[in-house]
Every structure is written in C-alpha cells, then in structure tokens.
Amino acid sequence: MHQRTTPGSLTSSPTWEGLHEWLREAIQKLLQAALEAEVTELLGRVKYQRRATVDGPAGYRNGYGRPRKLLTPVGSVTLRRPRVRGLEERFRSRILPLFARRTKAVSELLPELYLHGLAEGDFNLALRGLLGEDAPVSAATVARLKEQWQAEWEAWRTRRLDGLQVVYLWVDGVYVKAGLEKERAALLVAMAGLVDGRKEVVAVVPGYRESVESWAGVLRDLRDRGCLRPGW
C-alpha cells in the first residue's frame, strides 16, 4: 500500500471567512518556492546536492537572509531570501530585489491614493483596511515618497525634447474639481504627434485659468527644451 502525500499543501481548505488569509499564505508559499527555484536554476543543482564535476557551475548556498516582510495586494507576506556565495558577481534575485518592501502594484497604489486627497496621516489606516493589519505605511514613509515623486516630476518637466520629431501639437486645458479656490484649477496639457504616428505628452502645467499669457509660457518652455522648431 503506497502512502500518498501532497508536499507544500496549505494547512487547511479555504472558507469564505478566511479566504483572504488563505490567499496570503498561498502566495507566501509560492514566492518562497520561486526563490528556491531561482537559486537551483542559477547553480544547476537542488539543495544539498553536490557539484557533479569540477567544472560545474560555481557558487553554493549559504543559508538565508533575515526574514523580510513584502507588501503585496493581498497583504503582507514574510520571505527568506536565499544567500549564495562563491560567485564572481553578487547574486541578484529577479523575484525579490535587494531592499524591496512593496510590490509594483502597491507602489503604484500609494500615489493614486495621495492624488485622490488622502492625507499623509491616513495612509496607515487606509492600507490596513485594504491590505490587512500587517501592512501599515507611516506618515514619514509617505513624506519620503512625496519627495521622490516631486523629483521624478521635476526631471520629467524639464527633460530635453530635441530627439522628438514633432509634426503636430495638440493643446488643451483640462479643468479639475480638486481644490478650495473659487476659480477651478486648470491643467494646460500639450501632446505632440510624432512622425512615426505615436503621440507623446510633452507638457502638463498647472494653472488657474486658460489665458494667452499662460499658454505663451507653455509654448516658450517647449521651444526652449527643443520641442518646437524655429518658425512654428
């Protein structure tokens, strides 16, 4: 009589009440197994297996790093990143990069919540409701992210546009409802049509009204950054 086992199975079957927790545990097990498989692929041998030949792939397993919490759309999971020694270059995981604390989906969620008016101090409570009790984000973290977003915006706003082959330029003012001012805020948007058929946004400038002076400032900036050819 053969004994049948299911390696790596979850501790219990899912129920409606515990579905979120079951999914979180399943993803945690899957990611940990993927980390182990990544090292096996790199070294060409499974755990505890000796090198087949002298000329076999270099490197060897050397335990694990400290447990790390990773914030995912289904909550926080705890992973142990395998360590590899004996390589010419440092092992860099494609699945769990160094210092990563959030998945890309969660990182994209944070600025979306901020743009919708969520205050810095409310992120902790909001993310706990969305992603579980183990997924707080402090006001200090949001403040650092705001500085990063501002730097990225500044780099995009001032980038050179000489390499774009512009054949057409669309401009329009988009009014937004956010803000407490009596006059509605406007975003002055310029989109370039390129010679290969692609369209690319080249300017988004905040303002309070669409005026000749405001649009002239946008066009002068585009000219100075190399988007508009002489004679336009």
Give the start-to-end residue ranges of the domains of the chain: 19-85, 104-157, 166-224
Report the alpha-carbon distance of residue 102 to residue 99 in Å, rounded.
Answer: 9
Q: What is the model's pLDDT at position 13?
A: 75
Instruction: Give the global pTM.
Output: 0.63
Tell me what pLDDT residue 229 has. 72
Q: Which pLDDT does position 135 carry in this prediction?
A: 66
Residues 37-49 as b/e (b if ≥16 CB within 10 A, e otherwise) read ebbeebbebeeee
How far from 103 is each of 39, 72, 97, 158, CA to CA, in Å? Answer: 21, 6, 10, 29
Grouped pLDDT means (10 residues each) for the chain, 232 residues: 47 78 92 94 83 71 91 90 89 90 87 79 77 72 86 94 92 74 75 94 82 88 87 60
Q: Which pLDDT value is given to residue 210? A: 67
